[in-house]
Each structure stands twice: as C-alpha cells, then as structure tokens.
C-alpha cells in the first residue's frame, strides 16, 4: 500500500510540474501573430500566391482571404494587429490594382485565428498583358509581438488578367483560328469550357459537347447585339464609340475599362470583334 502511495505522490508531482511549466510558457511574454499558410504536408508555406482574373469573365474585383493566427494564448478581449503593404515586394498600385488596407484589424475575443479580406481589382486593361505583385506583412498593432520570423509573417500575391493558350486550342484551330487572347476571352464569355481531344481514347464521346460550345461562340461573334439582348443577366453591353464611326465597345458593366473593340465593315455590312493585334475574329 505504501508503495502505491509513493507512486501517487510522484505522479502528482510530475503533473504539477508540467502544469506549472505550461502556464509559465507565456508568462510575461506578449503573444505573436503570423500568416498561417500551410503546404500539402502541413508545413509553413512561404511561397507566393498566383491568381488570374482571366477565367472569371466580367469580374471587376475579387477577395483573397488571408489567414491570420496568433502564437500564444486566446484572451477574452479584442486585440488589434496591422496588415500592411510591403513596398519592396509590391508593383501593384493602390486603388487601381487593390483596395487600400485598413489601418488595423481586430482579432475577436477568445479567438486564435481569423481571415482578413484583401480585395484585388481588375480595372486596369494592362493586366491582360502583365502581372502585378502585392506584398503584405502582418505586424504588431499594440497587442502583439513581432518576434516570429519575417517569412511566416509575409505573403506575396501575383496576379493578372492574362490568358494563355490552352492545349486544346490546337486540336480545334480549324474552327477557332490562330490563337489570340481576345478570341479566348470571348470563348469563355460565351460559356465555353475545355474542348475535347478527338484523338484521345473515347474522345469522340466529348465531340457533341465541343461542337455545342463552338456553335455558341460562332453565334455570339457573328451577332453580338442579339447575344447581349438575349442574355442581359450576364451583364455585358455594347456602347457606340464617340469617334464618329459605327464602331462599338463591348464590356461588362462592372468592368467598363476592360473593352473589346467591335468594328463595322461596310463592305459586308457587318460587325466583327477585333483581336489584340487588330485582326478580325472569325469563327469558322
């Protein structure tokens, strides 16, 4: 009995020591804050985020949710921290490429993590030709320390509105024509999705769907005025140019600076979308 009593005393002492060490772990130390990005193995991910508006037709802005976590104890009161732009990592312009960040953000009481919205903007036509970068870093706001390594408190977001030629374009180039980004954008606006490889095993099964997408694109490019009237819910409009011509601009109402030129050709009494190289877009 005495032996068991001694075991209990030892166990109690060990548990008490562990509890005391755990409590003193943060005693007198301000909690830290960091960006909680993880890779597929659950390790801290310090690589850049890449994003494209290209496959989101008509989207004038989008929100990237940044995961912020504390290293320390949750507390029963709100606590402030700062998420700021790192100029040395940034080529994007405030107001043009992203919404300005707030002066500070608030970690709610009894919380150890939250998502901070960073709003990217798709209002610069040049995003169709280039990428911009936005570097952000979480820092103290009076309630947190910043002694954690800079890489896990920093994230770089690289984004554009640039399309690249998909593999499937070459399979259907006879109908689509030589690749250009404007035709690709019109294909997506018309509801098109990745086209089937007719040479692949069972590829023939996807041909009807591909022909459906191509026919939609064909009808759209041949008569954009009817398409706009038929699908008002898509939010696209045609506005006559103020240059004395019969030409129009095609764009989404939420992104009026991202325009596609629609030119009138009196020789055929018809309108054609023009690509980024000044050529007519003709879907055979």
Domains and CATH numbers, the chain: 30-160 (2.60.40.1740), 167-273 (no CATH)
pLDDT at residue 29, rounded to an integer: 60
Higher pLDDT, residue 2 or 92 = 92
Percent of the chain predicted with pLDDT > 70 = 89
Please state the rounded mean pLDDT for residues 24-44: 76
pLDDT at residue 23, rounded to an integer: 31
Please state the rounded mean pLDDT for residues 115-138: 95
Residue 267 has which token pair? 């020789």
Task: Band the pLDDT of 59: cuts 50, 70, 90.
Answer: confident
How many Cβ atoms sit within 10 Å of the Cβ of residue 104? 14
Mean pLDDT taken over the chain = 88
Please write the tens of the pLDDT for every residue from 72-122: 889 999 999 999 999 999 999 999 999 999 999 999 999 999 999 999 999
pLDDT at residue 69, rounded to an integer: 95
């Amino acid at each position: 009995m005495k032996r068991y009593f001694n075991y209990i005393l030892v166990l109690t002492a060990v548990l008490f020591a562990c509890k005391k060490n755990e409590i003193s772990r943060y005693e007198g130390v301000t909690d830290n804050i960091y960006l909680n990005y993880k890779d597929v193995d659950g390790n801290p991910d310090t690589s850049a985020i890449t994003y494209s508006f290209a496959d989101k037709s008509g989207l004038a802005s989008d929100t990237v949710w940044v995961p912020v976590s504390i290293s320390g104890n949750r507390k029963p009161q709100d606590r402030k921290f700062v998420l700021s732009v790192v100029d040395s990592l940034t080529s994007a312009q405030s107001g043009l490429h992203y919404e300005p960040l707030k002066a500070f953000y608030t970690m709610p009481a009894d919380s150890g993590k939250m998502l901070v919205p960073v709003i990217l903007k798709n209002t610069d036509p040049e995003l169709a030709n280039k990428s911009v970068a936005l570097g952000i870093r979480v820092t103290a706001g009076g309630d947190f320390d910043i002694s954690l390594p800079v890489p896990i408190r920093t994230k770089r977001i690289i984004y554009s509105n640039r399309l690249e030629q998909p593999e499937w374009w070459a399979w259907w180039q006879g109908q689509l024509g030589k690749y250009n980004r404007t035709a690709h954008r019109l294909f997506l606006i018309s509801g098109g999705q990745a086209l089937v490889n007719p040479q692949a095993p069972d590829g023939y099964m996807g041909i009807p769907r591909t022909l459906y997408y191509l026919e939609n694109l064909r009808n759209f490019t041949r008569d954009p005025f009817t398409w706009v009237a038929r699908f008002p819910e898509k939010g696209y409009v045609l506005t006559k140019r103020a240059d004395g011509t019969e030409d129009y601009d095609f764009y989404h109402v939420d992104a009026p600076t991202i325009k596609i030129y629609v030119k009138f050709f009196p020789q055929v009494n018809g309108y054609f979308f023009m690509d980024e190289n000044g050529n007519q877009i003709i879907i055979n």
